[in-house]
Structure 1
Amino acid sequence: MLRIELTTQDLARIRFAPQPAPLVELKLALMMLLRPDSEQVFGRWRRGLRQRLPGTTRPLWDLISAYMGPAFLDPLSTDLATGLDAVRAAPITLVRAGVEQAWARRRGPMPPWLRDLVHGDVTSRERLCLGLNDAFDAAFGATWPQVTAGHKAELARYALDAAERGVVGALATLCPGSRLVDGCWEVDAPYSRHVAAAGRGLVLLPTFHWTGATLVGDNEDQPLLVVYPAGPGTPFLPAALGEDALAPVLGSTRARTLRLLSDPLSTSELAANLAVSPGAASTHAAALREAGLIDTVRDGRAVRHELTALGKLLTNAAGQGDGSQGRGTVTAPATARGPRSPRPVEGAPVSTAEAKLRKGTDALLPHLHPAAHDQAQKP
């Protein structure tokens, strides 16, 4: 059980991270890559990521296991460059503590580059930062906009819950089964930990590539960082070349319309992006609106179209292939060191994105004006 002790002052200082944190998301994604669970959901994502990871990421597996990674690897930042600068500037005492913790349960001697790292070697730290940079590119180069969109949706959901239920009620909805009891936020976890916010407040950060327990970062003189699994429970998958899993279900134009509406657009803006007339854009929008995939709201003398929660879920779950066309070679995920870092288990192949979408959208298709839909499918 995780218990977070909160004062009235802490409740007044709860804030939601304005943007996703690249290195936090990356470290948890790499930990998830090494875990054997959730294979039916994460199996295809794991296989694709292994194919894309270049050899420069090998040093990361000397520090990251399926269940932990040093704190100095994932400073809270809103962009990758700032986060990497923070890794470069991390105090040597923090680096040594993180490395010692990572190797406490591993067998064999520490690799030479890691010994150099704990002694302050600049080249070793740059090697580590290169690995983080290239791992981020492999994991999120094609999907970071989806992570950002998911973060915005989670922020909006939390704000709505806080407005309707109050801060205490909103906290309880973030982690299923959690509750506030006598000034403690109790969260189900496979470990026992008691943390006191002590007036510092909380920063809430959702993550979209981690299905494990809620995690807490406790750095002196800083707010507690609470990282919790969010989103639809499926990883964001990069596009395979020339493949769009939504197109066979909705038609290519409407699939593209959904993807364009990850940011709200007016009818004229949508038409320009689709290279169709405003009337045709309005027809496509109407079909998607009838299916419950988008909303249309008045904006002055114009209207704006935006994805509903169902539309966001559908575009996120589509996946567009396994991303196996990436660069590089399979690295240490297949040979993680130490008894506490089990290798991922290859499970049975999951169904294709198209099949999952067809199953999940059968009830929506009657609303998509079959005649227009059939026309959209023609080359």
Structure 2
Amino acid sequence: MLRIHFTAQDFARTRFAPRPAPLQELHAALATAVAPRGGPLFAPWRGRVLRALPAAAGPLADLVPAGRPPSFLDVLGDTLADGFRQIRATRPGLVRAELERVHAAGPAPRWLRGLHAGDETAWRTVQRAQQAAYETVLAPVWPVVQDLHREEFTRYALAVAEHGLAAALTGLAPGSRLHEGVWEWPGAVPARDVRLDGRGLVLLPTFHHPAGPLLQDAPGRPAVLTYPAGPGIPPAAQRPAVPAGAPAAVLGRTRLDALRLLAEPHTTTSLARALHVSNATASSHAAALRSAGLATTTRTGRSVTHRRTALGTLVAGGGPP
């Protein structure tokens, strides 16, 4: 069982990653490809991936013997280059300690000894391997992963607004529960207790790892929980388009119109006028959007001004009202 211990400060610092992280998704996909996860739905995908991986990606297998990845590979970055910069910035002592941990059972390949010594040629080998694996495994489906992430982001935000943070968290993992500040995931392997101690938690969905949560717990940084999401099958390069009316089906037509109007600041009165509703109704829509994290409200004297947030722009699609 995975038990994550929250303080009040941790609840305040829990957030959802606004975008997918290419390296995290890649590592989740590779972990699924080399282990019997996902059952028959993933079997054909696993075979295709393993046959297609180029030789240049081989060093990644050396880095993760027996499914035990070194912790310095787990980074959040919006691009491959950003993720690799974060990996390369890892303290040399931590790199050495993690390589020794994952290869404790036997000798490491020769090139990894160079990585242990901080050799730049070895680091370039890692970068080339990640790039080669990404181009083969993720690049063809990355637009689909981005769409899935936006949908999951929106679902989580609306769950928080409607039911609160506790219900939104447990909704990410059927069978989990939040009790007295401890979020419990039954069946998670390996069993562990993680104390956030004020660092907070970042929630990151993965669409290639259906077998349970992956937790990055680096000292001095927010913990990152990568959890299974999506339809439970590997993303395909072609995916049906999301119907244009899907946001309206979730928010309601008038509330979606309000969200799109709030690309520019509006007072309650001007919002009501644009929506052709009463001030009270406009205020209610703004309050609901604010509770969901889709809009902000600023008060100046007796006047209030509403404007949508970055999440609101994501949900609205950036389109005009």
Contact 1:34 1:65 in 2 (8 A): no
Closer, same or farther in 2 for the Cα pair 1:67/1:197, shift >3 Å?
same
Q: CA deviation at 1:22?
A: 0.8
Task: Write the mapping of 1:1-379 to structure 2, written as runs, cut at 5 A.
Answer: 1-65=1-65, 67-105=67-105, 107=106, 109-188=107-186, 189-238=188-237, 258-259=240-241, 261=242, 264=244
Q: 1:217 to 1:37 in 2, by over 3 A?
A: closer
Which structure ranks higher in relative contact order (CA pairs < 8 Å, sequence separation ≥ 6)?
1
- Cα distance in 2 for partners of 1:294, 1:45 equals 32
Task: List, as ranges, runs of 4+ consecutive aligned residues in structure 1 with deviation greater than 3 Å.
Answer: 293-300
TM-score (norm 2): 0.73
Counterpart-to-counterpart distance in 2, 1:114 and 1:59: 9
Say what the alpha-carbon RMSD is for the aligned residues: 2.5
Query: Quick one: distance in 1 between partners of 2:97 and 2:209?
Result: 24
- Whether the aligned pair in 2 keeps the contact of 1:30 and 1:64 (CA below 8 Å) is no
- TM-score in terms of structure 1 length: 0.62
**Alignment check: 8 A CA contact 1:88 1:126 kept:** no
Q: Secondary structure at the match of 1:142?
A: helix
Structure 1: distance between partners of 2:88 and 2:8: 37
3-state DSSP class of the match of 1:10? helix
Contact 1:70 1:98 in 2 (8 A): yes
For 2:16 and 2:181, how far apart are their aligned partners in 1?
20
In 1, Cα distance between equivalents of 2:179 and 2:250: 39
Structure 1, unaligned runs of 5 or more: 240-245, 247-257, 266-288, 301-379
Task: State the 1:8 CA deviation.
Answer: 1.4
> Residues 66 and 173 from structure 1, CA distance in 2 versus in 1: closer, same or farther, beyond 3 angstroms?
farther
Distance 1:163 1:121 in 2: 49
Q: What one-letter code is carried by the residue in structure 1 that aligns with 2:157?
A: A
1:65 deviates by: 4.3
Q: 1:349 maps to what in 2?
A: none
Deviates more, 1:150-159 or 1:69-78: 69-78
Unaligned 5+ runs, structure 2: 258-321
Question: Which position in structure 1 is the counterpart of 2:314?
Answer: none
* Deviations 1:205-260, CA, capped at 9 Å, x for gaps: 11111022212211222211111111111111336xxxxxx8xxxxxxxxxxx43x
For the Cα contact (< 8 Å) 1:7–1:197, is it kept in 2? yes
Please tell me whether the aligned partners of residues 31 and 64 of structure 1 are also in contact (alpha carbons under 8 angstroms): no
